[in-house]
């Protein structure tokens, strides 16, 4: 079994999945970052396929950038300019080549949290 990476974004202010939220994955190497893929969440707040599927999975350091500001504006939650939260970067490492890494985001206009999910 090869490893893979998934995410799930929940809008905690509205109590629903964050549909239509753009996510970009970067691979990090020292001070450099290279874009791997860009995806958009579906009606369930998930991507239609793994962000990093088993056939392209590699251990290392990564960054997910959640374009929260665009989502908050589209959902009518943007109440100020500039927004308190616009892009939410999460840097993390994946060391186990056989593991499923799940990086969920719990989002509201004024806060967010994440954890290693299952």
pLDDT at 118 (0 to 100): 86
User: Within 13 Å, how many C-alpha atoms sit on residue 67's CB side?
Assistant: 15
**Binned average pLDDT, 10 residues per bin, the chain of 118 residues:** 93 98 97 97 98 96 98 91 95 97 97 95
Residues, the chain: 118
Phi, psi of 100 (to 5 degrees): -90, 120
Ranges of beta strands (E only) in 41-114 are: 60-67, 87-94, 100-102, 105-108, 111-114
pLDDT at res. 1: 67
pLDDT for residue 42:
98
Q: How confident is the model at residue 60, as a pLDDT?
A: 97
């Amino acid at each position: 079994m090869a490893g893979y990476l998934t995410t799930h974004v929940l809008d905690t202010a509205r109590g629903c999945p964050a549909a239509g939220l753009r996510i970009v994955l970067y691979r990090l190497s020292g001070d450099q970052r290279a874009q791997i893929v860009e995806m958009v969440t579906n009606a369930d707040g998930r991507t239609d396929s793994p962000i990093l599927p088993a056939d392209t999975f590699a251990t290392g350091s990564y960054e997910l950038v959640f374009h929260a500001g665009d989502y908050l504006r589209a959902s009518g939650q943007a109440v100020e300019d500039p927004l308190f939260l616009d892009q939410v970067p999460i840097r993390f490492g994946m060391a186990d080549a056989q593991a499923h890494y799940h990086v969920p985001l719990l989002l509201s206009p004024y806060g967010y949290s994440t954890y290693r999910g299952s």
